[in-house]
Amino acid sequence: KAGVTQTPRYLIKTRGQQVTLSCSPISGHRSVSWYQQTPGQGLQFLFEYFSETQRNKGNFPGRFSGRQFSNSRSEMNVSTLELGDSALYLCASSLAREGAETGELFFGEGSRLTVL
């Protein structure tokens, strides 16, 4: 069974640009969550999608957005990049059901974004 796949694995952008990251969950998983990981702030929750609907949202500015497609694949977008957006962006999928969640997340290896 294939794991969670994130693309691209590494990317470099400059301030002001925008970036789109992609995540393919484990087959059959309908929930996809996104996290930002930095040495200073640790792991910060961005948002979670379930069946194409955003179910939970973290405390990030509107420059951070996401969506989920009917096949459960998800993308997140960061517009007007800032130096502080440099981080490892992690995607996780889970076998959540409507109105329920096991808390058992399966993570991808992440997309490492560097903003210059």
Partner 1 sequence: GNSVTQMEGPVTLSEEAFLTINCTYTATGYPSLFWYVQYPGEGLQLLLKATKADDKGSNKGFEATYRKETTSFHLEKGSVQVSDSAVYFCVSMDSNYQLIWGAGTKLIIKP
- Residues interacting with partner 1, by CB under 8 A? 3-4, 33, 42-43, 45, 48, 55-56, 90, 92, 96, 100-101, 103-110
Between 28 and 42, name the residue whose CB sits nearer to partner 1.
42
Least distance (Å) between residue 99 CB and partner 1: 9
Between 18 and 41, name the residue whose CB sits nearer to partner 1.
41
Task: Answer for the pair 92, 68: CB distance below 8 angstroms, yes or no.
Answer: no
Between 60 and 107, name the residue whose CB sits nearer to partner 1.
107
Q: CA distances (Å), 20 to each of 28, 92, 103, in order? A: 23, 16, 26
Q: CA distances (Å), 82 to each of 3, 18, 53, 68, 87, in order? A: 31, 10, 27, 24, 11
Least distance (Å) between residue 40 CB and partner 1: 10
Of 26, 28, 23, 27, the C-alpha closest to 47 is 23
Between 17 and 41, name the residue whose CB sits nearer to partner 1.
41
Least distance (Å) between residue 89 CB and partner 1: 12
Q: Is 79 exposed, middle or buried (0-12, 13-18, 19+ CB in 10 A)?
A: middle
Least distance (Å) between residue 45 CB and partner 1: 7
